[in-house]
Amino acid sequence: MNRHGTSARLVATGAVLAAVAVGLGAFGAHALKARFDAEALGWWQTAVGYLLPHAVAVTAIGLAARPRLALPAWLLAGGSALFAATLFAMALGAPRWLGAVTPLGGTAMIAGWLLLAWRALREE
């Protein structure tokens, strides 16, 4: 894949994740707040709280158009999506064992941030 294609896909992915985070954040605050118990509402808010800033980071990395930063961006995108999806699902009534998958998303986010730092420093 060429440099422009990777950057465009990262920007599009980040933008879609940000739209999902804002939409689901509003949906949770308005349509689900009265239906959720405190624990489910906490899961929902945590999911949105992690998804949105990571979506912005993925978008920014895509806009930077630096191929060496693509893998960290994909780790951030995939990790935040997995992390948030498991919490959203549990808040909506999915089995609690799904919470065992949530840390995999968190691990991918941590790996993405660390790889981003390492690759950024290695470019200097």
- What pLDDT, in 10s, does the model give residues 71-107? 999 999 999 999 999 999 999 999 999 999 999 999 9
d(CA 108, CA 85): 14
Structural domain of 99: 3-122
Rg (C-alpha) for the chain, rounded Å, is 16
Count of domains in the chain? 1
Residue 117 has pLDDT above 60, yes or no: yes
- What pLDDT, in 10s, does the model give residues 12-43? 999 999 999 999 999 998 888 889 999 999 99
- What pLDDT, in 10s, does the model give residues 43-71? 999 999 999 999 999 999 999 999 999 99
Cα Dmax for the chain: 52
pTM of the prediction? 0.90
The 10 Å Cβ neighbour count of residue 46 is: 16
d(CA 32, CA 49): 16
Q: Would you call 2 helix, strand, or coil by DSSP?
A: coil
